[in-house]
Chain A
Amino acid sequence: MDVLLFELALTFYFAATIVSITDLFKESKITTRIITSLAGVGFLIHTLNIIYRYGIAGHIPIINPHEATSFFAWCVVFIFFMLQVRYKVNLLTSFVMPIVFLLMLSSSMLPREIKPLSPVLQSYWLGIHTVLAFLGNAAFALAFGIGLMYLVQEHHVKSKRLGGLFGRLPSLQTLDEINYKLITIGFPLLTLAIITGALWAESAWGSYWNWDPREVWSLITWFIYAIILHARLVAGWRGRRAAFLSMIGFITILIAFFGIKLLKKGLHVFL
């Protein structure tokens, strides 16, 4: 059942990705509707999958790398739909669904068995800390997609070649504002995740900060986004620079996320 739901969700995300990429080349109103339905059905099945695993394991399913990556993808789709309800960003799907699909694909290649929870993790902090961190990172993933859209659109306007996606992408200012908004949502979530993580670390290991790789990388990403926000407010780093930095920020998150898993070192190995 777990496998079936997961594979179904993966298939729907795959279909949504393919259609959304074709959408970049040929405009059609029906295509947009198809993509939204595919992603929506994928999201529902994915949600069932997560609830199902929760039911079996008895705790939030983000313990092993497979679950973590899958939950991350779920958070990205969740924030994506939130964003679409609010802003209806044209073509956003084409820039976000590929990220979701790649996350799900890597999740599908990781071992899926449900392991019992190690005593260290048996804490209410598990849910709070991880959900905060994942939602924050998902907001940054969306900021990456929006940032990329900004760079494409800015290239059109700056180079004065108004073909391609120019007509269908939103305005520069809109993209810039959404990018900023996503970071102002992601940043406090990340901050809270780090604080709750520290509190949890104190109760589990007796020390707030242990300099393990994940902690270090979280701090690095925290600084990157802090710089983005600070430079914007103080020096007016908006537009291209902000878009570019928000993409670097998310790449750092990915490196931290997957890099640490590959290295399997430190206290966060289980995650």
Chain B
Amino acid sequence: MKVFIVGLNHKVADVDVREKLAFSGEKLDKGLLLFHELPEVQEAIILSTCNRVELYANVTDAEKASDSVKTFLSQFHDINRSSLERSLYIYDDVTAVKHIFRVASSLDSMVVGEPQILGQLKDAYELALSKKTTGILLNKLMKKAISVAKRVRTETRIAENAVSISFAAVELAKKIFTDLSRKVCMLLGAGEMAELAARHLINNGIRDVLVANRTYDRACGLAKEFNGRPVKFDEFINEMVRTDIVICSTGAPTYVLTKSQMQKVMKERKQKQVFLIDISVPRNIDPEINDLENVYLYNIDDLQGVVDANMSERQQEAAKAESIIAEEIDTFLKWQASLDSVPTIRALRDRAEEMKREEVEKLLHKLPSVGEKEREAIEYMATALMNKLMHPPTAALREGGDDKASLVAIIRRLYGINGEEKE
């Protein structure tokens, strides 16, 4: 009984390979059941996201299992087996546990610390639960992986800072303004990144959106999309007086906003703080505007700088996360070892022995007048009774069989033997 993984991620396989191996939609349900039906596989979970496809299993013989899983994958996805083998990684036992904990904690992600992966893992597990393809080992492993991920989240700052340009813009806006819902944002020009930034700002409370574009129709279209108001491009400067955040991304070859214009705007808005985001290349807002008081101008490089700094902080936090994971692997392995029958038999006998002693002592305490002979008889009877009662479970444990792990777990539960820390 050990944890076993076959999989591939963004590091080892390009998107065209990942695509082919992805279990999407109905394929996932079907694939999970077929995977579970493999004779080498006792428990099964499939995690399939855009960055990774991973098959988790409980197997007895890792070598046999890896062979049959590869065959299953190549047949299911109709891929040549040798090309498949090139991009797969296979882990078992400790390395597999470690890998799953790292995936759940988002240490293995493309953007370290990104939060989606935990949700995706939970979904994968829930599907497996509903299809009844998991058992004692993977259930415990998944619960543990989720709790490890939560621990990493709370004990390190791994997911704290923005690591994309549009999120960095939101983070900054929140540190300039008190309440985004009362701020006005203007989108100057259009572009994928500008629109994304605007969308993030709207998700974070901005309600009032203005859209200015060289082509007025485009402005109208975007304004509709953002539930905002279109503005004629040559009139945008008039709107600046009541605009707090400007996202600028026009294709203009020169500055569309100069320092003297901005100075005038600031005077009219009584120096209220303004956040200007210039993601156009070449730049559309005179960089000297940043020297004006209460104006904060960030261009694309500045935002990238923020992102890079946050990234390197995440790397440092990742080191802390690794040590948390190392700790948790230990507790998991201890639990797994306790599932073995030998220590369970021993623990069971110890438990029974303890109960017997307690009861005998209690009885003898109540009967202080009994002699040596009677005392021996009482103890003999107690021991015999204990042995008789303990015989069937012990024998069943010794015998083992396919369902040994669940037998061990059940016996431990029935007799109240704790082989693991409480959670």
Contact = CB atoms under 8 A, between A and B. Distances in A.
Do A and B interact with each other, yes or no? yes
B290 A236 contact: no
Interface size class of B (residues with CB under 8 A): 20 to 34
Contacts, number: 62
Given A157-B172, A160-B302, A239 B178 contact: no
B160 A239 contact: no
B176 interface: yes
Contacts of A166: 175
A158 B290 contact: yes
Interface in A234-255: 235-241
A171 B309 CA distance: 20
A161 B302 CA distance: 9
Most buried by A among B172, B174, B177, B178: B178
Contact of B273 (A156, A173, A235, A241): A173
B176 A236 contact: no
B176 A173 contact: yes
Interface in A140-176: 153, 156-158, 160-163, 166-167, 169-174, 176
A228 to B, nearest CB: 14
B306 A172 contact: no
Contacts of B174: 171
Nearest to B306: A162
Given A171-B177, A171-B178, A173-B273, A160 B298 contact: yes
A212 interface: no
A177 interface: yes
B270 interface: yes
B226 interface: no
Contact of B272 (A158, A238, A241): A238
A94 B309 CA distance: 26
A162 B178 contact: no
Nearest to A157: B296
B272 A236 contact: yes
B176 A172 contact: yes
B177 A241 contact: no
Contacts of B161: 162, 167
B294 interface: yes
Nearest to B290: A158
Nearest to B301: A160
Nearest to A153: B175
Interface string B266-282: 01011111000000000
Given A163-B309, A237-B271, A239-B271, A171 B175 contact: yes
Nearest to B171: A162
Contacts of A169: 175
B293 interface: yes
A236 B175 contact: no
Given A158-B290, A167-B160, A177 B178 contact: yes
Contacts of B270: 235-236, 238
A239 B273 contact: yes
B277 to A, nearest CB: 12
Given A167-B161, A236-B270, A239-B294, A173 B302 contact: no
A242 B171 CA distance: 24
B393 interface: no
Interface size class of A (residues with CB under 8 A): 20 to 34
A237 to B, nearest CB: 7
A175 to B, nearest CB: 9
Contacts of A161: 309
A237 B272 CA distance: 9
A166 B176 CA distance: 11
Contacts of A171: 174-178
Contact of B305 (A156, A160, A172, A236): A160
Contacts of A173: 176-178, 273
Nearest to B173: A171
A34 B275 CA distance: 36
Contacts of A162: 161, 171-172, 306, 309-310
Nearest to B266: A236
A161 B271 CA distance: 23
Contacts of A176: 273
A236 B271 contact: yes
B302 A157 contact: no
A196 to B, nearest CB: 34
A238 B269 CA distance: 11
Most buried by B among A162, A170, A174, A241: A162
A173 B183 CA distance: 12
B415 to A, nearest CB: 40
Most buried by B among A153, A156, A160, A177: A160
Nearest to B174: A171
Given A162-B309, A167-B161, A172 B302 contact: no
Interface of B: 160-161, 171-172, 174-178, 267, 269-273, 290, 293-294, 296, 298, 302, 305-306, 309-310, 313
Given A171-B174, A172-B273, 7 more contacts: A157-B176, A160-B305, A166-B175, A171-B177, A173-B177, A177-B178, A238-B273
Interface of A: 153, 156-158, 160-163, 166-167, 169-174, 176-177, 235-241
21 contacts: A156-B175, A157-B175, A157-B296, A158-B290, A158-B296, A163-B313, A166-B175, A167-B161, A169-B175, A171-B174, A172-B175, A173-B177, A173-B273, A235-B271, A236-B267, A237-B271, A238-B272, A239-B271, A239-B293, A240-B293, A240-B294
